[in-house]
Amino acid sequence: MQTRIKELRARDGLTQQQLADKVHVRRETIVFLEKGKYNPSLNLAYKISQVFELSIEEVFQLSSK
Amino acid sequence: MQTRIKELNTSFMVPILLGIAWMGIMTLIWIRRGEFPSIQSFAIVAFFFAPQFFWAFKKALDKSKSIPLKDELIRMIDIYASAYTFKISIWVWFAIYFFRAEFPDPGKMVFFGILSSFLIFGLSRFYLRTAGPPHANQN
């Protein structure tokens, strides 16, 4: 799973902690998501997409590997 | 505002109660032995209380900052660590049974088994918090 979270965070000027607070998770979860070490639940993916006002597909992409 | 203060007070109650329990145990030792507990006694009791106190304090601190104690990642890590502990513990107990003649008494054998499970859980949790849960590479 590839994500654009880091790029979108920079676009909106959000820190990892601020994003974590908005979606009610711990900062470590955002770190893991950005590194591609964790696939979020549909619920969390939806919440993150809502923060960036984009669709889930625009934030998360399945890698071809 | 009052509710928030009440919540904070409640969350900091656990470390405070642990501190009181620690002092209570030391007082009990003092009364029963009739002499003030030694530094070693304080250290041994503190050693067993320290992790609980640390985690209770950390939880209370996180709660005061509105950081969730457990989110979906932490819950998943706990589930995987528990599963690893269960699977590896089966083999540890099998090994203990196989080498049961090496243990001087059954008490030590059981203690070794429990300690192993405890260590496996700790190591699994540490590994998973560093590497991430394995399902992340399911694609």
Q: How far apart are CA B67 and CA B11, in angstroms?
A: 13
Span B61-117, pLDDT tens digits: 777 777 777 788 889 999 999 999 999 999 999 999 998 888 888 888 888 898 899
A13-55 pLDDT, tens digit each: 999 999 998 998 989 899 999 988 888 999 999 999 999 999 9
β-strand partners of A3: A60
Find where tokens 């513990």 sit: B89
Which of B129, B135, B139 best probes binding to A when mutated, by most A CB atoms within 10 angstroms? B139
Interface-testing mutation among B64, B65, B70, B71, with chain A (most A C-beta atoms within 10 A): B71
Contact call for residues B45 and B26 (beta carbons, < 8 A): yes
The answer, as to whether pTM is greater than 0.90, is no
Residue A2, beta-bridge partner list: A61
Is the Cα dihedral A22, A27, A31, A32 positive or negative?
negative
More confident residue, B2 or A34: A34
3-state class (DSSP) for residue B6: helix
Q: What's the pLDDT tens digit per position in B27-71? A: 887 788 777 777 777 777 777 777 777 777 777 777 777 777 778
B-chain residues within 8 Å CB-CB of A38?
73, 132-133, 136
User: What sign does the dihedral A48-A50-A56-A59 (CA atoms) show?
Assistant: negative
Instruction: Give the span between the Cα atoms of B116 and B109, in whole angstroms.
Output: 11
pLDDT given at position A37: 86
